[in-house]
Structure 1
Amino acid sequence: MVLEVKSVDVYKTLMESAKRIGQAAEAESVQADLNSTISENIINLIREEGINKLILPKRFGGPQIDFTTFADMVKEVGYYNLSAAWITYFFSLHNAWVAYLPEHRQKEIVQSGGLLADIFAPIGKLEKVDGGFIISARYNFVSGIKYAGWVGVGALHQSEGSDKKTMHGFVINTKELEIIENWNSLGLRGSGSHTIIVDNVFVPDDMVIDLGAMAANRKPDLKDYDEDYLYYNAPFHPAFFVGFPAMAIGAAERVLDEFKKSTKGRVRMNGEQEVASPRSQRVLATLTLKLQSAKSLMKTYIEMLENDEGVHPSEFKAIRAEIIQNCVDISVKTILTLGAFALVKGNPVEMITRDLIAIGTHVTSLYEDAVEAYGKHLFDYPSPVLG
């Protein structure tokens, strides 16, 4: 199903908002790198621009955008700063799983104004009690958690009537957990992806989401829901992951712009103007074609989401990984071609290269895993991936 953006003005406004957020984050990027988090200034800007409400059902005032608009918004922020793109993406995206909660819980979370984090690694230890669950676990890599009011965490649970355990999400107010500020990474340092400790926290039954059923059924088990809502009309997990390749493309675009700018001003020790060198000309041509390939795959990915023709999840995963790998290759080749000045801390190419590598290490982006899963599917072997 294809949802059309209601107005050209919606798209234009979102791109302007994304640019403001991205430019503000870029201006603070070195400090965010040192602090291992983007600043509250950027978080406030995300709120002011309404990006945190972007992926809400229409009953809560969401603008009902399409996947292209969402991806382009994330890409625009990513052109300027990938940590900000990561957080901007997540704090809008996570409304998608809230839309599967009962309506009164949706209202509670939306009206609280709390930003939404999640970490659905199914490692929580559960105890079923009257009216809900007691959950305990230590979860790593919880992006933006210092600024979040709510977090969804993962655990395996066997629902009534099911013959096996499936992944479930348990929604917790962040006042009920402990944050360990230990994020110290190569890239995406500004994402503030700290550890949380969930220690015997009670989660009511109506704050639990069966993520397996969500992926299988798409439509929520609610009496009254917005049938046109974007995430009810697409394969959920591939749609959920759409921002990762989008932000990578934005960063790769920036890298090539930096390459052109730096090369035009570069003079070799023998006096040769580098812009006239076939070396850099070939590199720019090759990398531009690689970027065009990534953009074409991104367009294909979104078309697959919208047309909903039963595409196997492994194909989504492989395309996403291929896009991100292309973008990593562009950035690495650029830094190796530009030379030592591009390695200086704070240089846009240096920061973007580290951040793109970090995106490539995300569990949904691992290249070898993705192509293996897709290859199995192509040979009609079982390939059980979420997307």
Structure 2
Amino acid sequence: MVARAEAMIPELVDRQAEVEERSFYAEDIHEKFARNGFYRILQPRRYGGYEFGLDTFVRVSTTLLRGCPSTGWMFTLGAMHTQVVATMFGERAQSEAFGVGDFICPGTAVPSGSAERSADGGWTISGKWSYCSGSPYATHFLGHALIAGVNGASPKPLFFLAPRSQWTRLDDWGRQLGLRGSGSHSITMENAYVPEHLALPGVQVMEADVSGGTPGRDLHGNPEYGGGPLSFTNLGNAALAVGIARGALDIYEILLRERTTLVPPIVARHHDPDYQFWYGDAVGMIGTAEAALLNGVQQWHDNCVRGPAAVTRQEDLRISAICRHVIQLCWDAVANYLMPTAGASSVRHGERLERVWRDMSMLHSHGGISVLLPTVAVRELTRVRMR
């Protein structure tokens, strides 16, 4: 899987501008991903997938992001929710969802819109959900709506899985600072029907307690379909940062080999002590981030293997805290070393580093990554640990 992703890097690099212009990757790239089996990495074998696990998925994800951040972002956030569905939903829901073949499903954690119970036990859902990365080729949408409270009570969330026939993708992506090709369009639903077996009332997936087991663990006999959903999501987010940072490092190395210093003695940059330090330290920082990411994946897997009781809220938050520092290390390497010393000509419009810098900046402004993860999540970790 990883070798197939590596073989695609040159093409992904060459087509970055085209992806931004379209706002998502091309149909032929989508078909290559399908032929390579990328969409089936996390899909259960029971339904025609490979069930290779989170470690393989993360390695493929970071590799594709290294070639084109927009393409890798769109793939990652469209394909990773396979794991969530295979963990949280029952057999009937999974049979329907994965029975279509390749399963591609953007998801959002922020509740929006409304959900009302139908006479047959299903749900009628209306609303708009933004930043649905992966939506252009999606077969489903995974979201949260709000069920009105009774007698003045606060509304509660409804976690639902909606087939493609029940929602509309808006043409509202591509004008942002970066990640213009990530396919992060909005999705709308108007009086859409979602049957009872595709909805989980009262569930907010990022806070879900899976320490008592999950439908997916029982159905597939694979402990990874019982892992912590918050840490799983944040490991995916950390993979985004590592992949983009590795791409920035690739560009910087090319600049060191091809360009000379600005002042005498005029030598190739890779012979200059200052550039040697900047590059070497960035290599160390990004390498440390990647090592922490892969070890975080291993810790997540080990918790799953130990059994449901080991997949606690504390562990979910602790691994998420590791992800917070993976992302920060990648940002620091790019922002403090690579960008300031690459040279102004490297960030002209259309240059590869200029595009990667915009993409990395968009990642750094992601609410879940730069607001909730370094504040709410780490504070809650302390509260849970110390209570």
- Which residue in the other structure is 2:307 paired with? none
1:268-295 residue CA offsets vs partner (Å, 9 max, x unmatched): 2545113332321221122122113212
Within-5 A mapping of 1:253-332: 253-267=246-260, 268=262, 270=264, 272-273=266-267, 274-308=269-303, 309=310, 310=312, 311-332=314-335
Contact preservation (8 Å) 1:120, 1:155: no
Among 40, 58, 64, the alignment partner of 1:53 is 40
Gaps of 5+ in 1: 1-13
Following superposition, the deviation at residue 374 of structure 1 comes to 5.3
Q: Secondary structure at the match of 1:256?
A: helix
Within-5 A mapping of 1:160-171: 166-171=156-161
Within-5 A mapping of 1:230-249: 230-232=224-226, 234-249=227-242
- Which residue in the other structure is 1:7 paired with? none
Following superposition, the deviation at residue 151 of structure 1 comes to 1.0
Counterparts in 2 of 1:337 and 1:151: CA distance versus 1, 3 Å: same
Bigger share in helix: 2
Counterparts in 2 of 1:147 and 1:63: CA distance versus 1, 3 Å: closer
- Which residue in the other structure is 1:207 paired with? 198
- Which residue in the other structure is 2:95 paired with? 107
Letter in 1 for 2:100: S
1:185-219 residue CA offsets vs partner (Å, 9 max, x unmatched): 11111111111221111111111135447831263
Gaps of 5+ in 2: 304-309
- Which residue in the other structure is 1:370 paired with? 373
Counterparts in 2 of 1:58 and 1:194: CA distance versus 1, 3 Å: same
Contact preservation (8 Å) 2:24, 2:74: no
Q: Secondary structure at the match of 2:367?
A: coil
Following superposition, the deviation at residue 133 of structure 1 comes to 1.2
Bigger CA drift: 218-227 or 15-24? 218-227
TM-score by length of 2: 0.85
2:126 equivalent to 1:143: no
- Which residue in the other structure is 2:108 paired with? 119
2:185 equivalent to 1:194: yes
Counterparts in 2 of 1:272 and 1:249: CA distance versus 1, 3 Å: same
Letter in 1 for 2:198: M
Distance 1:305 1:222 in 2: 16
Number of residues of Structure 1 aligned to a counterpart in Structure 2: 366
Distance 2:292 2:80 in 1: 21
Letter in 2 for 1:314: L
- Which residue in the other structure is 2:339 paired with? 335
Contact preservation (8 Å) 2:61, 2:240: yes
- Which residue in the other structure is 2:69 paired with? 82
TM-score by length of 1: 0.85
1:13-65 residue CA offsets vs partner (Å, 9 max, x unmatched): x0122224444332211011122111112111121112112211221133232
Contact preservation (8 Å) 1:314, 1:373: no
2:215 equivalent to 1:217: no
Distance 2:217 2:294 in 1: 34
Q: Secondary structure at the match of 2:181?
A: helix
- Which residue in the other structure is 1:29 paired with? 16
Following superposition, the deviation at residue 92 of structure 1 comes to 2.6
